[in-house]
Structure 1
Amino acid sequence: MNSTVSLLISALIFFFILRGQRSGMYKPLKKSGITLLLPILYISTSFMQLFDPSLHIGEEQVIIALLIGMMVSIPLIMTTNFEVRENGSTFIKRNKTVFVLLIVIFALRFIAIATIHSIEPGTLSFMCNLITFGYIATWRIVSFIKFRNVSSSKRALLHI
């Protein structure tokens, strides 16, 4: 898979994540919160690149890419919070910083692919996808846990 196709797929995934984040601020999240985990499924489609015979990536590159992704998720985790509104439903707290962070992260990905020429383009695309998987999976799993904590505290308050 060439880097252009990879970037197009990434742009589509990025669009879905932004749309989901925005809708979560204005529409209540479902009771289970499973929709918070859907972006992990979206980005996991990039693992199809593993079937590309020209892909040359070592174990240490995989680990480093995932660790970078986990570090990138920290500001996203810190800025993603949930609130129970007066109607008793749980929403993502309105925070424009999340959108700015996502746009910056996505722009950095484009810049990296355009400027790093020492790594074969297919391998670089896959490493960027691993970084993306690392931050989306970490951010969304922690967000899911935060959501469940807010939702369970809401239920506990209703039973008092």
Structure 2
Amino acid sequence: MFFIASTCFAIVMAVIVFNFRMKETREPVTTKKIIIPPLAMSTGFLQFVIPAFHITWTEAGEAFLVGVMFSVFLIMTSKFEIKGDHVYLVRSKAFIFIIIGLFAIRLALKWYIGSTISIFETSSLFFIVAFGMILPWRLAMLVLFNKKKNEIAM
């Protein structure tokens, strides 16, 4: 039952992320809009205060590295363009396919790993995978955004 509920929740979250990303392409990008998502997400580390969510440092490191590997695909779809005096995120036709692919891989891994460890440990691992995806992606976006912003200033 938990896997069905968590899978439905993951689908809803994927739709929200996709819609958020499409909205991002209609408005100028700002530094604030790039850095707030990983900062807000970092509050999820509070789950580790509860002993049931504890995992080893090795598991946490491996989960983070998996997230970093997945982030490469998101970084590849993040391009910026200058329109007037503003910088905009360019829509990528590949983004939806990458999101669906990452979602499918994540779901398969969750089902496999979730059958061998507790729900809480699974939650911890996949939170770290997600954070490992968003942090490098947003840092790369910040670097690319600043390059474009500097082009406007010249």
Q: Secondary structure at the match of 1:90?
A: strand
Work out the number of aligned pairs and report it. Answer: 152
2: CA distance between counterparts of 1:114 and 1:55? 18
Secondary structure of the corresponding residue to residue 54 of structure 1: helix
When the two structures are superposed, what TM-score results if normalisation uses the length of structure 1?
A: 0.81
Matched, 1:128 2:126: yes
Partner of 1:28, secondary structure, is coil
| Residue segments in structure 2 that go unaligned for 5+ positions in a row | none
User: What is aligned with 2:102?
Assistant: 105
1:26 partner SS: coil
Give how far 1:109 is off.
Answer: 2.1
Distance of 2:39 and 2:97 partners within structure 1: 23
1: distance between equivalents of 2:120 and 2:46? 12
Gap regions ≥5 residues in structure 1: none
Structure 1 residue matching 2:46: 3-state secondary structure:
helix
The alignment-based identity, stated in percent, is: 24
Whichever residue aligns with residue 109 of structure 1, its letter is R
1:20 is aligned to 2:20: yes
Partners of 2:76 and 2:6 in 1: CA distance: 28
Report deviation, 1:4. Answer: 7.2
- Look up the equivalent residue of 1:23 and give its one-letter code: K
Partners of 1:5 and 1:38 in 2: CA distance: 28
Cα 1:9–1:49, aligned 2, differ >3 Å: closer, same or farther? farther
Is the partner of 1:27 in helix, strand or coil? coil
CA distance in 2 between counterparts of 1:10 and 1:50 reads: 21
Further displaced range: 145-154 or 87-96: 87-96
1:51 aligns with 2:56: no
Structure-2-length-normalised TM-score:
0.83
Q: Deviations over 1:66-87 (max 9, x none)?
A: 11111111121122110002x3
Q: Root-mean-square deviation (CA), in Å?
A: 2.4
- Alignment partner of 2:81: what SS? strand
CA distance in 1 between counterparts of 2:34 and 2:3 reads 28
Contact 2:48 2:54 in 1 (8 A): no
| Shift in Å, 1:14 | 4.2
